[in-house]
Amino acid sequence: MENEVKLLSGAMITLALATTTLVVIPYLQLSNLKPAAGLHPYTAQQLRGRDQYIKNGCVYCHSQQPRDKSQAPDALRGWGRASVAADYYYDSPHLLGTMRTGPDLFNIGARQPSVDWQLGHLYQPRAYTPGSIMPSYPFMFELKTKAEPGDKVVTLPPGYAPVGKVVVARPEALDLAQYLIGMDHTYPAIPAPAGKK
């Protein structure tokens, strides 16, 4: 019986230490965190696009967390500066990602700020990135013989547009494109000390 008590006590102490180290201390460190100076709340359209990003599984192949120069060549890849906790102030849940089958999207809005590019890439990724293994999302678009007033027609590179049809973005594609364009974290991560510019 004495060994069982020691085992149970050791397990409880280990669990308490792990919880304190991995949950309580980080919570205390970040509980007073404010958003970065250049970060703005999501618009309603961007929030709908963020939902599409989650529903369509984009988070499974794309991270939103460039690493520091000492850890990886993410800055050399053009993905921008390393992320900091304040960059995710308005994110719930956080979409950091777990793997990078595709490029990091933390700054895709700065790298590709064109709605036309984003929509075309969603419709047919290989038209913009040869050899891409990203799936296309044709269900987010309609094929019409003629565009109607208010339709957002997707302009595709030659050879990728369907013959005799126009590709029109559905609202969910427009929302997702706005979410992607909104991912522009090119503001300074840490404010400059007072008195320095």
Give dist(CA 116, CA 177) in Å, integer.
9
Residue 65 placed within a domain: yes
Q: Which of 24-28, 108-112, 113-117 has the lowest mean pLDDT?
A: 24-28
Non-local (6+) Cβ contacts of 133 within 8 A are: 101
Pair 49, 122: CB distance under 8 Å: no
Give dist(CA 62, CA 39) in Å, integer.
21
Residue 82 placed within a domain: yes
% of the chain residues with pLDDT over 70: 96
The predicted pLDDT at position 192 comes to 56
Query: Which among 140, 134, 138 is positioned nearest to 170, based on CA atoms?
Result: 140
Query: Which among 105, 79, 84, 31 is positioned nearest to 191, based on CA atoms?
Result: 84
Structure confidence by residue, pLDDT tens digits, 120-158: 999 999 999 999 999 999 999 999 999 999 999 999 998
Query: Which among 171, 162, 157, 89 is positioned nearest to 125, based on CA atoms?
Result: 157
The amino acid that residue 131 corresponds to is: G
Residue 178 placed within a domain: yes
Domain that includes residue 53, residue range: 44-182
Residue 107 placed within a domain: yes
CATH of the domain at 133: 1.10.760.10
What region does 39 belong to: left with phi over 0, alpha with psi -120 to 50, or beta? beta
**Pairing mode, strands 153-154 and 141-144:** unpaired
Residue 155 placed within a domain: yes
Using omega within 30 degrees of 0 as the cis cutoff, is the peptide bond preceding 158 cis? no
Pair 129, 61: CB distance under 8 Å: no
The predicted pLDDT at position 188 comes to 85
Residue 36 placed within a domain: no
pTM: 0.84
Ranked by mean pLDDT, which of 79-88, 155-164, 176-185 comes out on top? 176-185
For the chain, how many structural domains are there in total? 1
Residue 90 placed within a domain: yes
Mean pLDDT score of the chain, rounded to an integer?
A: 90
The predicted pLDDT at position 85 comes to 87
